[in-house]
Amino acid sequence: MEVREVTLDTGGRRVTDVTDACAGFVRDVGGDGLLHVFLPHATAGLALLEVGAGSDADLAGHLDTLLPRDERWRHTHGSPGHGADHVLPALISPSLTLAVQGGALVLGTWQSVVLVDTNVDNPRRTLRLSLLPG
């Protein structure tokens, strides 16, 4: 199994496209198999999403509705509403598994791999990529 860790800074963005990092890794390794993408963080997740056409902004906006940043959360350290960040991975998984064929990701036409992060207290993230050959 081939593994690579990529360090990212989300810069406060709620949705960060990481497709290029994933595609570059599988291109470097080559072949067929399954790519496991994992975020070893308690306050971020991964999703497949169309970016650049408004879906990323829609997701970010609706996360504010689903997980409001107010004082209702029992997990209270960090910035106001930080408890919501800890609930996020229950809704948006911190891992994805994607097919790889001929050293390329098998994605739909409009699908991108995105990191979803509402935690303004920690913009540094580690993306762990593991390719299990097929």
How would you classify the pairing of strands 104-105 and 44-49? unpaired
Enumerate the domain spans of the chain: 2-133
Which residues, in sequence order, are CB contacts of 90 under 8 Å at separation 6+?
A: none
Separate counts of helices (H) and strands (E) for the chain? 3, 8
* Averaged pLDDT for residues 92-107: 98
What is the percentage of the chain residues whose pLDDT exceeds 90? Answer: 81
Return the pLDDT at 77: 83
Return the pLDDT at 101: 98
Which has more confidence, 108 or 69?
A: 108
133 CB-side CA count, 13 A = 7
pLDDT in tens, 12-25: 899 999 999 999 99
Return the pLDDT at 91: 96
* Contact between residue 32 and residue 132 where contact means Cβ atoms under 8 Å apart: no
Q: How far apart are CA 35 and CA 94, in angstroms?
A: 14
The yes-or-no verdict on residue 71 having pLDDT over 90 is no
The yes-or-no verdict on residue 81 having pLDDT over 90 is no
Indicate the CATH number of 2-133 among 3.40.50.2300, 2.60.120.330, 2.60.120.460, 2.40.30.20. 2.60.120.460
The yes-or-no verdict on residue 73 having pLDDT over 90 is no
Q: How confident is the model at residue 128 (pLDDT cuts 50, 70, 90)?
A: very high
Residue 41: count of CB within 10 angstroms of its CB: 19
User: What pTM value is reported for the model?
Assistant: 0.94
Computed over every residue of the chain, the mean pLDDT equals 94
Return the pLDDT at 120: 86
Sign of the CA dihedral running 127, 64, 89, 104? negative
